[in-house]
Amino acid sequence: MSIIDDVLLNAKSAADSVGKKAGKVIDRSKLRLAALDIRSELSRKYRMLGKVCYEADRTGKDYSKGIKQLEDNISELIEQLERINELLASSEKKIKCYGCGTYNVKGAVFCSKCGVRLSEAKPQDEDEYSQEELLDFAEEIMEEDDDNV
Ligand SMILES: [Zn+2]
């Protein structure tokens, strides 16, 4: 094999690995965009739910079907958001602390937030983490609403 062939081959494999990296970057930014979309949709649904509840209370009319529908939509969106967050975290190769749910850099020995020893991590408790995240998210939504009113 000539030197030129060798250089071309190396250049090609370098381009391939850049392409793969770029692919990952694109996927991650797509995920982030999707998460943003879902958050704004969630925000909209929460507002709608608030309006419907307000109207129901004010007029005494039965809006329970509409409320149920909105609640189902919201639950679905929250599930999607969680799935995306999991994907984002796993694509960063982070490990989740079993104590507080914080994502830590892979290879970390202690949790950066609560200091728990990560190498002794038990199987992840998804429910516990989701609850915390949901509460955080609900707080964010409420803060947003306060700003806009
Ligand atoms: Zn922790």
CA of 139 to the centre of ligand 1 (A): 21
CA of 127 to the centre of ligand 1 (A): 15
Q: Which of 80, 82, 103 is nearest to 92 (CA)?
A: 103
Per-residue pLDDT, 26? 46
CA of 147 to the centre of ligand 1 (A): 31
Per-residue pLDDT, 88? 80
CA of 96 to the centre of ligand 1 (A): 8
Per-residue pLDDT, 49? 95
Per-residue pLDDT, 36? 93
Q: What is the pTM of this model?
A: 0.49
CA of 115 to the centre of ligand 1 (A): 6
Per-residue pLDDT, 139? 67
Paired tokens of 82: 């969680």
- Whether pLDDT at 62 is above 70: yes
- The domain segmentation of the chain, as residue ranges, is 1-92, 94-149
Cα dist. 88→61, 69, 94, 113, 126 in Å?
Answer: 43, 29, 9, 19, 15
Per-residue pLDDT, 55? 94
Q: Where residue 73 falls among pLDDT bands split at 50, 70, 90? A: very high
